[in-house]
Amino acid sequence: MDTPVATRRAETEAHLRLKRLALLWAQANGYSACAAEVSLPQCRYRADVAAYRARLREQTVTAIFECKQARPDLRRDNCETATTRERLRSLARRREILEKHLRVHYPTLRTGDSLFAEYDSHDFDAIAHRGYRRVLRESAALENRLYGGTKFECLVRYRCANLFFLVLPYELFRETDTPAGWGVLVERNGMLDLIHKPAWQDNSNDAQIRLLQRIAVAGTRQFNRAFAITREDLGYA
């Protein structure tokens, strides 16, 4: 069923509100350079908010904030590769056992598409076996997550920043959904509270400067949009 237009708009507004709160929280905590929708230099992902903090006699810190306003959106990016691969291996073994027994109990499922009977494929869908279909559905869902839902894990693995924060509505927070190494900021009464501290990730000075450059590019793009500055205004064809 399609999501109603009003619901989609409400989710978009909720996401924008969380990004605004992340920008406010970052600046209140000393990050002087911040921007939304920042393309990250070490990978193909874009951060909802990225921030850079450099003070005299203090360590330079870079941070990434990912805002999630709905649980499906949160879980889509929160796939742990090792756990998911192990579950897929378990499901593959289960599928082999099921197919072995189904061949014995339903010999009529053979399709006869090979010259040799032992190489014939079988139409297991024809009997609508619930257990077999459940294994196929879960395997497909896990494969989709494995190849398209590892954003949180990848950002840490590629050392895209020193600190990573998940920004959530209070009612969405569950300790078990917290990605490894990430901190959690939850929205309460129009403000963000840090309820789970992130783990520090070492990062090179060059990587920090590259992220700062991306923040500057994103900030300029947003400035141009706010003031209706077009490519033509800048002299581009």
pLDDT, the chain, mean: 81
What are the Cα distances from residue 141, in Å, to 69, 89, 93, 150?
21, 14, 17, 13
Residue 62 has pLDDT above 60, yes or no: yes
Return d(Cα 208, Cα 50) in angstroms, integer: 11
The pTM score is 0.69
For residue 116, the model assigns a pLDDT of: 47
Question: Is 90 exceeded by the pLDDT of residue 74?
Answer: no
Per-residue pLDDT tens digits for 157-178: 889 999 999 999 999 898 877 8
Per-residue pLDDT tens over the stretch 119-142 = 456 666 777 778 878 877 766 665
Domains located in the chain, CATH noted: 5-77+150-226 (3.40.1350), 81-148 (no CATH)
Let me know: does 182 contact 198? Beta carbons within 8 Å: yes
pLDDT digit string, tens, across residues 203-234: 999 999 999 999 999 999 999 988 988 888 88
Report the sign of the C-alpha dihedral through residues 56, 59, 62, 66, in that order: negative
